[in-house]
Copies of this chain bind each other. A is one copy, B any other.
Amino acid sequence: MRAEIINVGTEILLGNIINTNSAYLSRKLAELGINLYKQTVVGDNMERLMTSLSDALNSVDIIITTGGLGPTQDDITKEAVAKCLNKKLVLDNESMQQIENFFMSRNKNMNEYNRKQAYFPEDSIILENTVGTAPGCIIESKEKTIILLPGPPNEMKEMFEKNVFDYLNKKSEQIIHSRFLRLFGIGESDVVKIIEDLIEEQDNPTIAPYADGYQVSLRITARAKDKTDAISLINMIEEKIQKRLGEYIYGRDYETLESVVLDVLASMNKTIAFAESCTGGMISSRIVSIPGASRAFVGSVIAYSNEIKIRELNTQKKTLRKYGAVSEKTAKEMAIDIRKSFDSDIGISTTGIAGPTGGTPEKPIGTVYIGLSYDNKVEVFHFHFKGDRNRIRKLTTFHALNILRKYLSSIS
């Protein structure tokens, strides 16, 4: 079974918003073993949308659209699909009721445009929108299926998970299951070189490397009649990869450096605090993004100015004067002090020159020190990163988390 995703919306076509919907839907279709043939983005333009719809009707079995179901005159997806299939738009009373309830429950007035959202191509299966106002629908016509979903990502996901996933699952025979191995501290081409033979000899599962500029992932994808069979195929190949690249592999699938270190800290009953300068809260914020961060994270000081480094972190004035805020000595003092003053088991500090100004010949932009303090010890790691301000901050954040991960695995 072949599918195409058509994202409708001038705001996506013109690049004003990033298209996250197609990434989400693509992953879901892969899970379902549905062969995604193409993704297309078209603007809110009747003629072009109809061309894309008819092209897709000629080449795939399932079309999923997102966007264009809203209340404004730019929202034309239902009209375009109805025209393509020679269907009328008819009122769905239940949807009208739900839209009215949505506005009542929020004490908002409903306007005439919102009523448009209760009209659908005839014989549609209506998909309730529990998060927003625009319902979606499924239209089956001459062995083709067209699924219309709203544009806002949270509404689209909710609707897909509640209704569309099961609907599609019944249509599909074979499943594709993937597992991601997440690596840090090694480049894509080195990964490929180390497991080149595995990549080449494998047909099922396949191994594919990806890099996002910070980390490398390996996707292992198996085709099988069910998930259990797929998983055992994947396990066999993962074992081989672990033997060669184990030291760089920190997690699987949706695990992140922050979720992995938080889990390990919690399982070891250890607490952590950060003294952040150039990262400015980015490390802490990533840790706090994980549910249950309080299992191990007590808090942080963001010591951005020198005054705060001195006052809050007992960084010696002498140190700042003699070595500067971005120095091994300062990183050391910050890491020790945050651990002591926050009474945590581990303290981590960052100080660096993120740019765009502030670089010197001795300490160019990208100079970063990361301190790690535990027991009576302190280690400092020194980096020269390349890139713009936020790339340097992000690299510092990932390396700090990875330093923590490696320390934890060394003591476990």
Contact = CB atoms under 8 A, between A and B. Distances in A.
Interface of A: 10-20, 22-28, 30, 36-43, 48, 52, 55, 71-72, 74, 111, 113-114, 152-154, 180, 189, 192-193, 208-213, 217, 219, 273-274, 276, 278-285, 287-289, 291-294, 297-305, 307-308, 311-312, 341-343, 355-357, 387, 389-391, 393
A15 B25 contact: yes
A152 B304 contact: no
Q: Is the interface of A mostly helix, strand, loop or mixed?
A: mixed
- Which 10 A/B pairs are nearest by Cβ-Cβ distance? A280-B288, A281-B281, A15-B26, A281-B284, A39-B41, A299-B308, A15-B23, A281-B285, A15-B27, A300-B302
B393 A288 contact: yes
9 contacts: A39-B41, A274-B302, A280-B293, A281-B300, A284-B302, A288-B302, A294-B304, A301-B301, A307-B343
Contacts of A40: 38-41
A183 to B, nearest CB: 14
A12 B212 CA distance: 11
B18 A389 contact: no
A285 B189 CA distance: 32
Contacts of A26: 12-16
A372 to B, nearest CB: 19
A358 B356 CA distance: 41
Nearest to A304: B299
Contacts of A211: 152
Of the listed residues A26, A219, A312, A391, the one surrounded by the most CB atoms of chain B closer than 10 A to its CB is A26
Given A16-B210, A16-B217, A289-B389, 7 more contacts: A12-B39, A36-B43, A40-B40, A111-B189, A280-B289, A300-B302, A307-B343
Copies of this chain in its oligomeric complex: 2
Given A41-B22, A154-B213, A288 B304 contact: yes
Given A283-B281, A285-B285, A219 B300 contact: no
A298 B343 CA distance: 23
A390 B285 CA distance: 10
Given A18-B18, A281-B284, A284-B302, A39 B13 contact: yes
Given A14-B36, A23-B19, A280 B287 contact: yes
Contacts of A208: 10-11, 74
By CB atoms of chain B within 10 A, which of A22, A40, A299 has the most?
A: A299
Nearest to A284: B281
A48 B41 contact: no
A298 B307 contact: yes
Contacts of A288: 278-282, 302, 304, 393
Contact of A285 (B25, B37, B280): B280
A43 to B, nearest CB: 8
Nearest to A192: B72
A387 B341 CA distance: 35
Nearest to A44: B208
A301 B299 contact: yes
B301 A305 contact: no
A210 B111 contact: no
Nearest to A275: B299
A212 to B, nearest CB: 6
Contact of A23 (B18, B25, B30, B213): B18
Output the residue of A74, A282, A387 with the most chain B CB within 10 A. A282
A153 B213 contact: yes
